[in-house]
Amino acid sequence: MNKKVKWGVLGAASIATRKVIPGMQKGEWSEIVGIASRDLAKAQKAARESGIAKAYGSYEELLRDSEIEAVYNPLPNHLHVPWSIKAAEAGKHVLCEKPIALDAAEVVELIRVRDRTGVKIGEAFMVKTHPQWLRVRELIRSGKIGELKAIITVFSYFNRDVNNVRHKMEWGGGGLLDIGSYPITLSRWLFEEEPKQVSGNLEIDPDFGIDRIASGVMEFSSGQSVFCCGTQTN
C-alpha cells in the first residue's frame, strides 16, 4: 500500500492556497495535514477552505508536530532560507518556493544544513517535473528536432501594487528573482550545464528600488540563452 508523505504548509500565501495545495491534494503520494500562519484565524480560515485538518498560529508550532514529515515553504523570498533551515533542523524534508535563496552564500549555507540533517531540500520549479517540459527535454536529448543552440525567453506582467512583496527590496523583491529565475533555471536544465559567462542589464524602479526590467545573456559551451523579464510590462 502506498504511504503518503504528510505535509505541512508554512503560511497561507496565494500560490499555496490557489495552486500548490489543491495540486498536492490530488497527488498519489502526498497529504496536506496542516497549515500555519502567524495569525491563527488566517490559518484556520485557510485550513477550513482547503479541507486541511490542522491549523497552527505559528510556524514553530507546525515544525514541532511529529506527524508532519515534509514542509512546503511559500513565504516571502527573504524567509526562504531561514525557515527552510528551521524545518530541516526539525527533521522535516523541504520543498521551498522559488527562488530558494537570495544569493549564492545562502545556497551554500542551505546545502550545509541539508547535508548535516540528512533531509531532502528541493526548489519548487515546476519545469523540472511538468510533463510538457519533460517532453521538451526528451525531444532535445533525442536530437529529433536538431541540436539545441539558442533559447529565447520573455516573461512579464504588470504590477504597481505598493503592498506587493515583489516591491519590497529588503524582502528579496524585483523581477529577476521572481520571474527571471524561470528562464535561468530552464536554460541550465535544458543545456544540462552551467553557463561559462553571464551578462545582464537592470532597469530600477525609482519608487520601489527594485529591478522592473531585467535582461540577460548566458553563454553555454553548446549555445546561448537570451531572456528578458519585466514586472511593469504587458
List all residues 6 or more positions away from 44 whose beta carbon is below 8 Å from its beta carbon: 55
Alpha helices (H) in the chain, listed in sequence order = 14-15, 21-25, 40-50, 59-64, 80-89, 104-117, 131-142, 175, 181-191
Helix (H), strand (E) at residue 92:
none
Angle at the Cα of 103 from the Cα atoms of 21 and 89, rounded to 5 degrees: 55
Provide DSSP, 6-36.
EEEEES--HHIIIIIHHHHHT-SSEEEEEEE
Q: What residues are paired with 224 via a beta bridge?
A: 150, 219
- Hey, what's the cell of 192? 544540462
The amino acid present at 164, given as its one-letter code, is N
Tell me, yes or no, if 98 is annotated catalytic: yes
Catalytic residue among 98, 120, 128, 168: 98
Residues acting as catalytic residues:
98
